[in-house]
Structure 1
Amino acid sequence: MSKENPFSWKFVAPLYMGSTLNPINSSMIATALVPIALFMHISVAKTTILVTVLYLASSIAQPTSGKLSEEFGPRRVFLTGIIMILLGGLLGGIGKNLSMLLVARILIGIGTSTAYPSAMLLIRKRAEAAGMSQPPGNVLGSLQIAGVVTSVLGLPIGGVLVGTMGWRSTFMINIPVALVALVMAALWIPKDNISTQSGKTVFDILSRIDVIGIIEFAVMITSLLVFLFSLPKINWITLGLTVVFGVALVWWELRAKHPFIDIRLLGKNGPLTRTYLRFALITLCIYTVLYGVTEWLEAAHGIPSSEAGLLLLPMSIVSAVVLGPISKRNLVRGPLIVCAVSSILASAGVLILTASTPIIYILIITLIFGITMGTTASSNQIALYTQVSGDQIATAAGLFRTFGYIGSIASSAIIGVVFRTKVVDSGLHVIAVIMIVVSILALFITIFDRKLERIAGSAKTTS
């Protein structure tokens, strides 16, 4: 193994920058919905589809980008995604109607979704080429800081942009950032050593990427998300479509020569399945704090949305501080237990919040959730890295993010059901009880997962 650092700053910088764009764009648009509605003379309720469509596009595009990275090369997919972000930022910046903004958000959603799966594959290939026997914890930790922790920054950044330059800036800010990422990636990320598909028929290429599996997955996820967003009213059509296409997806993937989602792998690889489930459960709690508690702060304490978002900044800082040493040491089981316990404690704190609760107490609760965010982001990613082979890491990483989106959207559904008539203390307490139950479930999944002990033991041995 060469003494030269395989993960130089030139190699990782474009990966980190690209990974910040999806979470920031996910939350930043929330500050622009009211100005967009006023400009286009439509209701604010109609503009919320700009939030939904990016979640939907990202949920489908994350594992799809992973599959494409494995087949065509992560650098090609990463660069293509950056170009899509540029187009989305430009289209949104000149958008005249809601349809143009929807297309822009779809482009941004798909483009930003290429960053994390391709980055995981690039990192895995670089680590294996360098002969590393353990996960590159520092690199994975920084990637998580860029890709998950920065989600909290979207609201304050969006508030500043809208307040100073108008709602179009929430789209156009992507242009300079994407240009920088594009130049850095083109110059500093090594070219893919995966051969192109020359000489192969269109049918061969479609079979390799499993287009039918991707379409079935897309319809299933779309139906599921529409069903969740329709709650408390039950949309039986979308629920039925979710079940039908879910069954069809399993049937097809079990027979596909090159499956988009390896169902047999998920069936045999219980630890990987539990990692996905743990991440979805804890993400549900984190996003309930990000949006549910923020909404309650605005209603109960009369705090503007921009200031409510600033209250969450310390949560992001704590999570970044916690994430570093855990990733560096490749710790898994211990931090995951801390993650679930801290979520239980903080959720119990939410249970006793009232309109007269001092802000400092609310801040303490968000700081505890910062521990939850940092531990779940780092340890679940390390677990994922060790639970799949190198040739499947990109699709597995994309699916990991999809489970996170499902958790965040489920949290939105819970908030929408509980606060559907009025944002009051009793509703917040109902949400807190749900969070406690979900956190306890995550704790049980972690404690009884004996495979995590082997991962932790292996990491400690190779450190």
Structure 2
Amino acid sequence: MTDQTTAARSDTRKAFDRRLVPPMMLGSVLNPINSTIIAVALVPIGNAFGAPPSQTAWLVSALYLATALGQPIVGRLIDIFGPRRLFLLSTSLVGVAGIVGTLAPDFGVLVAARVLLGFGTCAGYPAAMALLRSEAKRTGHDSPAGVLTALAVANQTIAVVGPLLGGLLIGLGGWRSTLALNIPLSATAVALGALRLPKQPSTGAAARGRPTAQLDLPGMGLFAAMLFSLLLFLMNLHAGSWYLPVIAVAAGAGFTVRELHAETPFIDLRVLGGNAPLLATYGRALVAYVVSYAFLYGFTQWTEEGYGLSPFHAGLVQIPMFLVGIAVSVTVGRHGGILGKLVLGALGQIAACALMLTLTAAGPLWMLPLVAVVFGIPQGSNSLALQNSVYFQAEPERIGSSAGLLRTFGYLGSMVASSATAASFGERADTAGMHHLAWVMLGAGVLYLLITVFDRSLRRRSAAPAEPARTA
């Protein structure tokens, strides 16, 4: 009887800690809910402040600029200090940003609130990936397929429900209510994190003494300068901004030299440079997000201004994408291969972009949800495939920063999408601008397919014996 009790306790210790799932889920969706809910709020905010689409695009870019800078840095801090402290501090900022945004007296303050919001959402996803790695090490089961799928499904759910939720909030309390939503979300995330996240650093880096020695502050600063100037250039594509890419190149050169000689580099370029599969994954993330975010913001603005739908109905049109995306994530998440998911996502992107080129302001209403249905296929397949790729390709001791870099490359793609949307629409989101944007998206979709089919490492991964999926 004693042996049975001991064995039962041992099995319990080796099971994934289900208490971690709620804070992991909520933390990881804070960014996508704020990324998507703003899609239907851009037009009302523009009307309130007299700002055209070329200016309201900064509400999108501000969040991604802050998050693209912050995610790999916060991810590295999580690698060193563990997820708990960074999660609590970061998610607290989400509530502060919600208060500032709700009370914003002008457009500039609203943009500043979105920047703060971007920094506040930086810890959720890297913390979740670090916790997954920690639990895999503790339990001895390096195949958390069920949890990875659940994370992808949660992000897909929020990403597509966001526009509908935004439309409902705007109808009930105006566009400011979309910012106020962050106050209870932040409070809940902080409470769950304080109650359920492990108090000891899961990575053990901080426990080895002098954790601050693990911080490459010069490298982080040069990385921030490089990324900041590059993203500003993407949002100001004109001759007067020639100095921005020059700064980006100079900072990038300095960053490279620093990281190649630093004892504990922020991003180990020697290791990363030798990890071609991970670099290819980052490249796929960039072009995939160009397509998905150009659709999210560009298509949604066109349905309101070009087609004449209300914010609520514009969000309602995206519901089919939510349903299909969830179904696809759950279905493909049952299989261990990555290549098939990526090819499915690539073909879905190309088909959806081709459909966008057939839309007109006088076209039938049923065409709008049809496009959303087709876009649901890559939405459900790509995010799961990219997430799984990083989990298996990254070094275990750098899973936090590697996951952060995945999001950074994705946000680079979103910045390209935001810039392309602003350039395509100009002063008004009309049908001609939407078609121009669709051609840009189609080009990115084709590039995504090419990066996938010529990546031999994906075939090797698919040929490897699949590990049994374990649900949380």
TM-score by length of 2: 0.89
Match of 1:179 in 2: 187
In 1, Cα distance between the equivalents of 2:427 and 2:40?
22
Q: Cα distance 1:50–1:286, how it changes in 2: closer, same or farther (>3 A)?
A: closer
Aligned mate of 1:130, from 124, 139, 142? 139
In the alignment, structure 1 residue 56 sits paired with structure 2 residue 59: no
Where in structure 2 are the equivalents of 1:359-438 lying within 5 Å? 359-420=365-426, 423-438=429-444
Tell me the amino acid that sits aligned with residue 122 of structure 1. Answer: L
User: Quick check: 1:263 aligned with 2:298?
Assistant: no
| In structure 1, C-alpha distance between the alignment counterparts of 2:312 and 2:303, rounded to whole Å | 11
Contact 1:331 1:459 in 2 (8 A): no
* Greater shift in the superposed pair: 401-410 or 319-328: 319-328
- Kept in 2, the 8 Å contact 1:84–1:111? The answer is yes
**Deviation (angstroms), 1:170:** 2.4
- Answer whether contact 2:347 2:449 (CA < 8 A) is retained: yes
Task: Identify the match of residue 163 of structure 1 among 171, 176, 184.
Answer: 171
Q: Structure 1 residues 450, 249: CA separation in 2 closer, same or farther (over 3 Å shift)?
A: same
Aligned residue for 2:228? 222
**1:227 and 1:234 in contact (8 A); partners too:** no
Alpha-carbon distance, 1:118 to partner: 1.0
- Which residue is 1:153 aligned to? 161
- Please say if residues 79 and 182 of structure 1, whose CA atoms lie closer than 8 Å, have aligned partners that are also in contact: yes
Give the residue type in structure 2 aligned to 1:79: L
Give distance in 2, aligned partners of 1:186 and 1:153: 27
Q: Percent identity?
A: 37
Deviation at 1:374, TM superposition (A): 0.9
Cα deviation, residue 393, structure 1:
0.6
Find the counterpart in structure 2 of residue 141 from structure 1.
Answer: 149
Contact 1:116 1:147 in 2 (8 A): no
| Residues 1:309 and 2:319 aligned together | no
Deviates more, 1:428-437 or 1:336-345: 428-437
| Counterpart check, 1:328 vs 2:337 | no
Superimposed CA distance per residue, residues 15-65 of structure 1 (whole angstroms, 9 cap, x where no aligned partner): 1011111111123245555666677x6646666544332111111111111
Offset of 1:321 from its aligned partner?
A: 1.3
Residues 43-101 of structure 1, C-alpha deviation per residue, up to 9 Å, x if partnerless? 46666544332111111111111000011111111111122222222333444455554
Q: Is the Cα contact below 8 Å between 1:232 and 1:417 reproduced in 2?
A: no
Alpha-carbon separation, structure 1, partners of 2:307 and 2:45? 26
Name the amino acid aligned to 2:150: S
Partner of 1:12: 21
Q: Indicate yes or no: 2:91 matched with 1:82.
A: yes
| The 10-residue stretch of structure 1 (269-278 or 150-159) with the greater mean CA deviation from structure 2 | 150-159
Report the CA distance shift for 1:436/1:252 in structure 2 as closer, same or farther (over 3 A).
same
Q: Which residue of 2 aligns with 1:351?
A: 357
1:107 to partner: Cα distance: 2.8
Q: Where does the alignment leave 5 or more consecutive residues of structure 1 unmatched?
A: none
Counterpart-to-counterpart distance in 2, 1:58 and 1:232:
24
What are the residue-to-residue correspondences of 1:229-308 with 2, within 5 Å? Answer: 229-231=235-237, 235-308=241-314
Q: Using CA pairs below 8 Å that are at least 6 residues apart, which structure has the higher relative contact order?
A: 2
Q: Report the count of equivalent residues.
A: 457
Inter-partner Cα distance in structure 1 for 2:56 and 2:356: 30
Alignment pair present for 1:450 and 2:459: no
**CA distance in 1: counterparts of 2:113 and 2:163, whole angstroms:** 19
Displacement of 1:266 in angstroms is 2.3
Query: Following TM superposition, by how much is the alpha carbon of 1:197 offset from its aligned partner in structure 2, in angstroms?
Result: 7.4
Residue 215 of structure 1, CA deviation: 1.2
Aligned residue in 1 for 2:3: none
What is residue 124 of structure 2 aligned with on the other side?
115
Are the structure 2 counterparts of residues 166 and 295 from structure 1 closer, same or farther at C-alpha, using a change threshold of 3 Å? Answer: closer
Question: What is residue 460 of structure 1 aligned with on the other side?
Answer: 466
Distance 1:382 1:304 in 2: 37
Q: In 2, distance between residues paired with 1:422 and 1:196?
A: 52
Closer/same/farther in 2, CA of residues 42 and 347 from structure 1, 3 Å limit: closer
Q: CA deviation at 1:273?
A: 0.5
1:190 and 2:195 are equivalent in the alignment: no
Alignment partners' CA distance in 1, 2:423 and 2:194: 46
Unaligned runs of 5+ in 2: 1-6
Change (3 A) 1:130 1:276: same
Q: Is the 2:305–2:429 contact (alpha carbons within 8 Å) kept by the matching residues of 1?
A: yes
- CA change 1:384–1:197 in 2 (3 A) is closer
How many angstroms apart in 1 are the aligned matches of 2:287 and 2:65?
Answer: 19
Q: Deviations along 1:278-315, whole A, 9 cap, x unmatched? A: 11111111112112222332343222233222211211
Question: How far 1:263 sits from its partner (Å)?
Answer: 1.4
Amino acid at match of 1:294: T
The 1-side partners of 2:170 and 2:356 are apart by 30
Give deviations 1:91-127, integer Å, cap 9, x for gaps. Answer: 3344445555444333321111110001100111101
